[in-house]
Amino acid sequence: MIKTADRLNNISEYYFSRKLREIDDQNKKGRQVINLGIGSPDLPPHPDVIKTLNEESVKPDRHSYQSYRGSAVLRNAMSSWYKQWYNVDLDPESEILPLIGSKEGIVHICMTFLNPGDKALVPNPGYPAYRSAVYLAGADCIDYELKEENNWHPDFNFLESLDLSSVKLMWINYPHMPTGQLPSIDLFEKVIAFGKKHDILICNDNPYSFILNDKPLSLLSVKDAKDTAIELNSLSKSHNMAGWRVGLLAGKAQIITEVLRFKSNMDSGMFLPLQLAAAKALSLPGEWYEEVNKVYRGRRNKVFVLLKKLKTVFSTSQAGMFIWAKIDDSEKDCYTFVDKILDKAGVFITPGAIFGSSGNRYIRVSLCAPIEKFDEAIKRIEEMV
């Protein structure tokens, strides 16, 4: 068999890819597992967004290759959205790059700026894609541990103690996934100051700022942030458009141009009707977010009940579409705990350790299921307990 490239040596199949096959096998045997692990919104986009996609798709001139920079209509909508909700000014011509989902942006950024021998700071716990993208670029990861006692914020004293001479990137993600920790201006100012001091590009992944959060915040709202920072955002969570794959990269024109240099060799643009529908989504009024969050609040209350049944400890002030909870000291570890719940109750919950070693005593529950599913999960877990 042909040997795979060395860049895959530190990469394994995504945990959910493997686990969902296992769950699918159980369901085929009649198990009917309740999946509370995946953060894929089960609610639809706004009807006007779907209407726009339908109307634009039947037009005969909508099916050609598109600009590598994305439609001007979409870029202008993204710029207006950032100004309205984050009070951040972005030039739609030079400071915004539409993406086929923000996950591809994580890879594009690493491939654009990292060489073998370079290093990137990666949060632990944190989204596994940051680590994978760094390794795919041939660079190395330096973990910075996030701790509950420090509000899941970086320990800047620890960071300053490191040899940062080869560090080119730092990944942050606030509101934080998986912990649900909200950012503050003070935190963002410290991150920007750290990036400037050490000439490190700060990359904030910001897809959760509208979910169960009344005050969306962008890293780019900090004074002079564009000098050292870029930000990824997405319509996947905020607009229930995960499968549509629409995201964006925002930052200084020079950085956007360099990322585009890589990206333009990877794809040939996004389907135009999809871009126009995404622009429509970004123009929705505040009532849209309020209605979505009303649903998530009801589900979150159910998850609180479920987690109490499991004897976990958790904060009730988390943002995003997950709840992060610490398992009881009597449990061996999160994997054993999760497998026990799956085996005995037929309920799948995410083990926190897939986000890094600091998550080993934690679990994560998704809010992306109907109330009826949570009620059934609570019933099963009561019977298990």
Residue tagged 């009649």 (tokens): 30
- Residue 8 pLDDT: 83
- Residue 14 pLDDT: 72
For the segment 309-323, the average pLDDT, to the nearest whole number, is 96
- Residue 346 pLDDT: 93
pLDDT tops 80 at residue 13: no
The band of 5, judged by pLDDT with boundaries at 50, 70 and 90, is confident
Which of 8-17, 21-30, 133-142 is predicted most confidently? 133-142
Tokens of 239: 């607009």
Secondary structure E strands in 86-133: 96-99, 119-124
pLDDT tops 90 at residue 17: no
The band of 15, judged by pLDDT with boundaries at 50, 70 and 90, is confident
What does the radius of gyration of the chain's CA atoms come to, in whole angstroms? 21
Q: Determine the Cα angle at 118 with ends 115 and 123, to 5°.
A: 120
- List the domains of the chain with CATH numbers: 6-44+287-384 (3.90.1150.10), 61-282 (3.40.640.10)
Q: In this structure, are residues 120 and 170 in contact, taking their beta carbons and an 8 Å threshold?
A: yes
Q: Are strands 167-172 and 96-99 parallel, antiparallel or unpaired?
A: unpaired
Map residue 197 onto helix, strand or coil.
helix
pLDDT tops 80 at residue 36: yes
Residue tagged 């995404």 (tokens): 278
Higher pLDDT, 10 or 290: 290
For the segment 352-375, the average pLDDT, to the nearest whole number, is 96
| Alpha carbon distance 290, 267 (integer Å) | 35
Half-sphere exposure in the Cβ direction for 365 (13 Å, CA): 31
| Alpha carbon distance 10, 19 (integer Å) | 19
pLDDT tops 80 at residue 11: no
The per-residue pLDDT for range 246-303, each reduced to its tens digit, is 999 999 999 999 999 999 999 989 999 999 999 999 999 999 999 999 999 999 999 9
pLDDT tops 80 at residue 162: yes
- Residue 69 pLDDT: 93
Question: Global pTM?
Answer: 0.93
For the segment 214-241, the average pLDDT, to the nearest whole number, is 97
DSSP symbol at 28: H
Buried b (16+ CB within 10 A) or exposed e, 232-254: bbbbbbbbbbbebbbbbbbbbee
- Residue 19 pLDDT: 79
For the segment 29-46, the average pLDDT, to the nearest whole number, is 90
Tokens of 277: 């529908």
What is the distance of C-alpha 328 from the center of its chain?
A: 27
The per-residue pLDDT for range 323-337, each reduced to its tens digit, is 999 999 999 999 999
For the segment 379-383, the average pLDDT, to the nearest whole number, is 94
Contacts 24+ apart (CB under 8 A), 252-258: 252/95, 252/226, 252/227, 253/91, 253/94, 253/95, 255/201, 255/230, 256/94, 256/95, 256/96, 256/97, 257/94, 258/112, 258/113
Report the candidate in 300, 347, 304, 294 with the shortest Cα–Cα distance to residue 321: 300
Q: In this structure, are residues 171 and 154 in contact, taking their beta carbons and an 8 Å threshold?
A: no
- Residue 167 pLDDT: 98
For the segment 90-109, the average pLDDT, to the nearest whole number, is 96
pLDDT tops 90 at residue 384: no
For the segment 189-201, the average pLDDT, to the nearest whole number, is 98
- Residue 110 pLDDT: 98
Report the candidate in 340, 349, 356 with the shortest Cα–Cα distance to residue 373: 349
pLDDT tops 80 at residue 12: no
pLDDT tops 90 at residue 39: no
Mean pLDDT (the chain, rounded): 95
Report the candidate in 182, 179, 181, 256 with the shortest Cα–Cα distance to residue 217: 182
Q: In this structure, are residues 95 and 231 in contact, taking their beta carbons and an 8 Å threshold?
A: no
